[in-house]
Amino acid sequence: MLKDQIRNLKNEAIGEILEAKNPQELERIRAGFLGRSGKINRLTKEIPKLSPEEKKDLGQAINEAKINIESVLRQTQDKLSVQSDNHQKWFDVTAPGIRPPEGHLHLVTEAIREITSIFTSLGFHRARYPEAEWDWYAFEGLNMAENHPARDEWETFFIENLENKKLGKGVLTPHTSSGQLREMEKYPPPIRMINIAKCYRRQSDISHVPMFYQFEGLVIDREISITHLKGTLDYFAKNFFGPNRKIRIRPFHFQFTEPSFEVDISCGLCEGKGCKFCKEGWLELGGSGMVHPAVLKNGGIDPQKYSGFAFGWGVERTYMMKAGLKIDDIRMLYGNDLRFLKQF
């Protein structure tokens, strides 16, 4: 294969460069491999004969080979230059050094840490549950029986040849709500959990990616009501988005909560007055509601004694709604364009 030829040529060139005795020999090696009629450039003549995908792969392989060879050439040239000097070069020890480039946390990681900090201040504890989950925890135990229409929304990744007689098929967890049942099984009330984890769905466009992060809040105790839910959401909004942002809840339907609500946040650009970005002053944030009695029973908790609320939002979507950010395509968060990532 052409890629194998390129790899062999690269290794051959590096081997000859490392054995070079003088700059003249280095120049001969450079011309022999990287010159206009060099061995590597000859292979570029084969590119027009390839398919689009093969052209892309071969082009990348050639560029990588050239970069590696040029890097070794420079290093060897510097080494030979130092060796050829008959006297020690003057060096100013007081001159400032050149600082190497510094990286930073990815903006999704920063968002997860900030979200965790806010809810920790309210007494929530951070939980982590499996990415590979059983159908019972992901669907059936959350009041979504087999073939229920609500399952169609998730476009689930099922894991081949993985099934439990009691818990059903193996899946890549489609939402962090599966952690609700595991938390109830693990701890008796009162419960205050924030579960932040990767989720997987067969969706990909400007507002969806196949792998994304969600954070799931769960509170269960005696006499928990909607006012507790609303107060928690308001506290989070003001601390994460800013003191002028507001939250509202609208009636909706989720199979695992009753009653259920969609959560909206006031637009950060017009402060809820209405603009081209939000239309009516509000932006949809995520779902929430009071934990369904059937879900409490499935988690081993008596719904006659305890009640609770839950909410689940995408970390990326929530971060994109922060004041001052104008990110119109969620896929940009997981690209490798440093010009974009260095801004955060």
| Model pLDDT, residue 276 | 65
**Binning pLDDT at 50, 70 and 90, where does residue 49 land?**
confident
- Residues, the chain: 344
Pairing of strands 125-127, 191-200: parallel
d(CA 200, CA 212): 7
| Model pLDDT, residue 250 | 92
**pTM score:** 0.66
| Model pLDDT, residue 23 | 81
d(CA 113, CA 125): 13
Q: Where is average pLDDT lowest: 102-116, 133-147, 260-274, 322-336?
A: 322-336
**Is the dihedral angle over the CA atoms 181, 166, 152, 210 positive or is it negative?**
positive
Beta bridge partners of 169: 163
**Binning pLDDT at 50, 70 and 90, where does residue 324 land?**
low
| Model pLDDT, residue 87 | 44
Contact 172, 188 (CB under 8 A): no
Q: Does residue 206 carry a pLDDT above 60?
A: no
Q: Does residue 195 carry a pLDDT above 60?
A: yes
Residue 94 is given by DSSP the state T
| Model pLDDT, residue 86 | 45
d(CA 18, CA 68): 13
Contact 62, 5 (CB under 8 A): no
> Which residue shows structure tokens 């060879």?
69
Contact 218, 291 (CB under 8 A): yes
**Binning pLDDT at 50, 70 and 90, where does residue 47 land?**
confident
Q: Does residue 36 carry a pLDDT above 90?
A: no
Please return the burial class of 261, using the count of CB atoms within 10 Å of its CB with bins 0-12, 13-18 and 19+.
buried
d(CA 130, CA 292): 23
Residues 298-313 have a mean pLDDT of 94
Residues 148-175 have a mean pLDDT of 82
Judge whether 258 is annotated as a binding position: yes
Share above pLDDT 90 across residues of the chain, in percent, rounded to a whole number: 31
Q: Does residue 143 carry a pLDDT above 60?
A: yes
pLDDT digits (tens, 9 = 90+) for 57-107: 777 888 888 888 888 888 888 877 766 654 456 667 788 888 888 888 888
Q: Does residue 344 carry a pLDDT above 80?
A: no
Long-range contacts of 244-251 (CB under 8 A, 24+ apart): 244/271, 245/323, 246/272, 247/285, 248/282, 249/288
| Model pLDDT, residue 103 | 82
Kindly give the interhelix angle for 52-84 and 2-19, rounded to the nearest 10 degrees: 0
